[in-house]
A = this chain, B = another copy of it.
Amino acid sequence: MSIRIGIMGYGNLSRGVEAAIRQNPDMELAAVFTRRDPATVKVKTEGVPVLNESEILNWKDRIDVLVLGGGSATDLPVQTPKYAEYFNVVDSFDTHARIGEHFANVDAAAKKGGNVAVISVGWDPGMFSLLRMVSDAVLPEGKHYTYWGRGVSQGHSDAIRRIEGVKDARQYTVPVQESVDKVRNGETPEFTARQMHTRECFVVAEEGADKARIEKEIKEMPNYFADYDTTVNFISEEELKAKHSGLPHGGFVIRSGVTGLDKEHKHIIEYKLQLDSNPEFTGSVLTAYARAAYKLSKEGMSGCKTVFDIAPAYLSSKSAEELRGHLL
């Protein structure tokens, strides 16, 4: 029998999960839930019902794992604890500063309901976390560096769109090659934010808008841009659509460490992602961890887990023998 997946929400990430389920023959999409009028939502998988979020508890026995496709700012802090009481759940919560609090809330709910909840899954947090953690354990004396890009940051693009006079915008996060080269070469400097990444903005201004003011507001925006070298390019709506409509992303985690009695040997571990579609890759990671949640739940586990707590074999549809035979 297939693992029956429910998806909460139907934005970019949820559509990435939907596409990933079709690549995993041991899974099926059981239902999609939305806050909108279900009649207005058309999913891509034939025969899959779209329901209002209010109906979800009627699906308790027809869904093995609920994947939460919402955002970290307002959706997941409410939804993940709420639904972990009734379903095995997986989310992509990525507000680093609030992970401790989120973990505690979700853990209590999941334990109360006897379910497995996996939080903060995706590529960062997620795959990058896994690599940072394992590399830290293997090379305990060293430093790690995380670079994002070149790729579209949806958070930064949204921040630009909120500026008066901006019609649309796309922001690329770009690693500073000089700093990357140093790290790959085994140097372990302390970098400022500015030394590691630059920010490239492509902005469509509304007619008659004051471009100089927009550029200034972007470059001086605290947290998002003020600490970076930022370039702002005003382009037409047509050019934005033609050249910047995809959501590519990626990045790399580097662990630079030493071994030896005199710490005389250097080692560089690098994990790199080049993603044509950020939401589809993130959705693929969520889907693999949905399988893990299902298997752990079948074994009688409950509570909140992160990528650190789950043995890799749980992610795979392959048997232990197949994994040892072909991938070890």
The residue in A291, A308, A309 that gathers the most chain B C-beta atoms within 10 A of its C-beta is: A308
Contact A134/B315 with A96-B328, A281-B267 known, Cβ cut-off 8 Å: yes
Question: How far apart are A296's CB and chain B's nearest CB, in angstroms?
Answer: 10
- B261, B283, B328: the one within 8 Å of A44 (CB): B261
Contact residues on A (Cβ < 8 Å of other chain), bracket: 35 or more
Q: Mark A274-287, 1 if CB is under 8 A from B, else 0.
A: 11110011011100
Q: In whole angstroms, how far apart are the Cα atoms of A269 and B276 in the complex?
A: 12
Contact A325/B100 with A261-B22, A268-B273, A268-B274 known, Cβ cut-off 8 Å: yes
Residues of B within 8 A of A266 (CB): 276
Residues of B within 8 A of A311 (CB): 308-311
Contact A19/B133 with A274-B268, A275-B267 known, Cβ cut-off 8 Å: no
Chain A residues 184-239 with CB under 8 Å of chain B are none
Per assembly, the copies of the chain total 2
A241 contacts partner chain B, Cβ-Cβ < 8 Å: no
Q: In whole angstroms, how far apart are the Cα atoms of A269 and B273 in the complex?
A: 5
Contact A285/B138 with A133-B313, A272-B269 known, Cβ cut-off 8 Å: yes
Chain A residues 288-328 with CB under 8 Å of chain B are 288, 291, 306-313, 315-318, 320-321, 323-325, 327-328
Chain A residues 24-70 with CB under 8 Å of chain B are 24, 44
Decide if B315 touches A140 in the complex (CB within 8 Å).
Answer: no
Question: How far apart are A9's CB and chain B's nearest CB, in angstroms?
Answer: 18
A151 contacts partner chain B, Cβ-Cβ < 8 Å: no
Residues of B within 8 A of A324 (CB): 99-100, 103, 306, 308
A176 contacts partner chain B, Cβ-Cβ < 8 Å: no
Decide if B288 touches A327 in the complex (CB within 8 Å).
Answer: no
Decide if B265 touches A280 in the complex (CB within 8 Å).
Answer: yes
Q: In whole angstroms, how far apart are the Cα atoms of A123 and B193 in the complex?
A: 32
Decide if B271 touches A270 in the complex (CB within 8 Å).
Answer: yes
Q: In whole angstroms, how far apart are the Cα atoms of A288 and B255 in the complex?
A: 16
Decide if B16 touches A284 in the complex (CB within 8 Å).
Answer: no
A127 contacts partner chain B, Cβ-Cβ < 8 Å: yes
Q: In whole angstroms, how far apart are the Cα atoms of A295 and B16 in the complex?
A: 37
Decide if A328 touches B99 in the complex (CB within 8 Å).
Answer: yes
A259 contacts partner chain B, Cβ-Cβ < 8 Å: yes
- B103, B129, B140, B264: the one within 8 Å of A327 (CB): B129
A137 contacts partner chain B, Cβ-Cβ < 8 Å: yes
Decide if B140 touches A23 in the complex (CB within 8 Å).
Answer: yes
Q: In whole angstroms, how far apart are the Cα atoms of A312 and B125 in the complex?
A: 15
Pairs of residues from A and B, 4 with the lowest C-beta to C-beta distance, nearest first: A265-B276, A137-B315, A259-B280, A265-B277
